[in-house]
Amino acid sequence: MPVLFEAQYHPPATFFAELIGADSLLLESKEHYRKQTYRNRCLILTAQGVKPLTVPVVDGNRSEKVGIAALEIDYRQNWVHQHWRTLQTAYGGTPYFEFYADYLHDIYVKKIPLLFDLNLALLYFYLRCLRMRIPVEFTTEYHPSYDPTAVRDRRDWLTPKGVSDSEPDRMSDSGRVRPYPQSFGARFVPNLSILDLLFMQGPAAGGFLV
């Protein structure tokens, strides 16, 4: 059965765990953009706790009226430098940061104009890293709901709202991502970007998705 997701920025590890056993990944390409979601936001772990990284979009006040595939990234803001420096500070000392850093940096410096295309480039990169050979397809029209016997609809199933290291997401990694050692803190923090798992476990990361 296909699993349907929105395109996300550095998606949570749970996103990829949900793809295990699916026939294909169906990406929602005909929706309108929604603010304060993983479409332009990810969560990473820093010495100060969970931190969101947000990609600014052009004309943010009107952005929810724009189709997701046409939404432009606002490069007038220095967000690329800020995100990269934050990732270096948070993960520069992890076992596999240098293993992936050049590939990620190459995606950033391309300054891909559209948010959907940036998320797609990151998605393909992560699928390769996790050795997940799953077909990626795109919706051709928008449907508010699907027959649950035909498509596993996971749009907005994961949300960054209210997530902190003391208040887990409503759809927790628990049971979908096996706990692994993290850079900061003694207790495992769920719901983080796939970046956290990759930087800590490298090529073995896929084995923590269950």
User: What is the predicted pLDDT for the residue at 13?
Assistant: 97
Residue 120: phi and psi, rounded to 5, are: -70, -40
- Residues in the chain with pLDDT values less than 50: 164-171
> With a threshold of 0.75, does the pTM exceed it?
yes
Question: From edge to edge, which strands make up the β-sheet containing 25-28?
Answer: 136-138, 25-28, 3-6, 152-153
| Structure tokens given for 120 | 């797609």
In the prediction, which pLDDT does 162 show? Answer: 60
Tell me, what's the pLDDT at 51? 96
- DSSP, collapsed to helix, strand or coil, labels residue 143 as coil
Q: At residue 17, what is the residue type?
A: A
Question: What's residue 192's pLDDT?
Answer: 96
pLDDT number for residue 169 = 41
pLDDT for residue 164: 44
pLDDT at 63: 84
Distance CA 156, CA 54 (A): 17
Q: How far is CA 5 from the centre of its chain?
A: 11
Tokens of 131: 């050795």
Give the closest residue to 195 by CA, choosing from 113, 54, 119, 96. 96
Dump pLDDT digits (tens) for 132-153: 999 999 999 999 999 999 999 9
The model's pLDDT over 159-184, given as tens digits with 9 standing for 90+, comes to: 997 654 434 444 455 558 999 999 99
